[in-house]
Amino acid sequence: MIIVVLAVGLALGIQAFIVKPYQIPSESMEPTLDVGQRILVNRFVYRFSDPDIGDIVVFHPPAGADNGGMQCGVQKPPSQPCPTPTDGESEQNFVKRIVAGPGDTLRIQDGHPVVNGEIPNEDFIRDCGGGMECNMPQEITIPKDHYFMMGDNRGMSTDSRFWGPVPKDWIIGKAFATYWPPNRLGIF
């Protein structure tokens, strides 16, 4: 009985503080991550360092993103990404890629982030497909301790373009591996 209690306690402790599994709920990260695919997330890495551009992370979005919402924290023109999130942290978990960090300037061109005047090489994304969310030429500056998230499926992702940057404190952790299905096993 003691061994079972210790094993359960250890498993719960690992999930709470070190590594936790998550399931991909939507097509917003395709083709990198498919719906239903399972990932492992390092929950303590950002306690010792800041997130990097390109990291795939699990986080709580602003309350304006609840249930597919696109509520920005301020009135903004349609030609500008959302510069400020709504107040309050959502209870939902989202999985997206960090495309810009604190102090970076950002605009969107053909679905690609233009960060500090440069377009990164993003050969892993799915085309945006046109529309207002694909071109937001008015530049914003990412606030201190905030990160701008975008899904890899740019035409099918509700992300920071609509509900704003995410505070570092709301980032749960960095995805580092896939473990299901077996044909998609891998390390990021």
Q: Which of 20, 26, 28, 168 is catalytic?
A: 28
Pairing status of strand 186-187 against strand 171-180 = antiparallel
Strand partners, 98: 149
Catalytic annotation, pick one of 26, 76, 96, 160: 96
Residues whose CB is less than 8 angstroms from the CB of residue 56 and which lie 6 or more positions away in sequence, other chains included: 29, 32, 33, 39, 95, 96, 97, 174, 175, 188
Active site residue 76: no
> Is-catalytic flag, 28?
yes
Q: SS3 for 83-139, per residue?
A: CCCCCCECCCCEEEEEEECCCCEEEEECCEEEECCECCCCCCCECCCCCHHHCEEEE
Q: Would residue 155 be called left, alpha or beta, if left means φ above 0 and alpha means ψ between -120 and 50 degrees?
A: alpha
Radius of gyration over alpha carbons of the chain, in Å?
Answer: 17
Which residues form the catalytic set? Answer: 28, 96
